[in-house]
């Protein structure tokens, strides 16, 4: 299983951490970059990980809707 999806994931997490330290408009740009990196890592993730995430989301939304 290739782990290429971890590169944008860790980049996004690192930039998200940095955006919490900034108080300027730069924080908004860094936040946007973080969201793009996290979406990219989900797209690049193997189907097994995507399936597990989908199952977790379905279970959690069913519990919240009750």
What does the alpha-carbon distance between residue 51 and residue 64 come to, in Å, rounded to a whole number? 20
**Plot region of 11 (φ>0 → left; ψ -120 to 50 → alpha; else → beta):** alpha
* 24 found inside a domain: yes
* 36 found inside a domain: yes
Q: What values do phi and psi take at 46, rounded to 5?
A: -65, 160
The predicted pLDDT at position 52 comes to 93
Give the model's confidence band at 59: pLDDT under 50 very low, under 70 low, under 90 confident, else very high: very high
The structural domain count of the chain equals: 1
* 1 found inside a domain: no
* 58 found inside a domain: yes
* 54 found inside a domain: yes
Question: ∠ at Cα 40 (13, 4), nearest 5°?
Answer: 80
pLDDT tens profile 8-54: 888 888 888 877 777 777 778 887 888 888 888 888 888 898 999 89
Question: Which is higher by pLDDT, 55 or 31?
Answer: 55
Tell me: pLDDT of 60 over 70.
yes
Q: Angle between the 26-44 and 6-21 helix axes, to the nearest 10 degrees? A: 160
Model's pTM, two decimal places? Answer: 0.66
């Amino acid at each position: 299983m290739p782990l290429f999806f971890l590169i944008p994931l860790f980049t996004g997490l690192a930039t998200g951490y940095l955006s919490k330290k900034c108080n300027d408009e730069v924080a908004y740009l860094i936040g946007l970059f973080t969201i793009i990196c996290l979406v990219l890592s989900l797209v690049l993730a193997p189907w097994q990980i995507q399936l597990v995430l989908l199952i977790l989301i379905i279970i959690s939304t069913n519990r919240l809707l009750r």
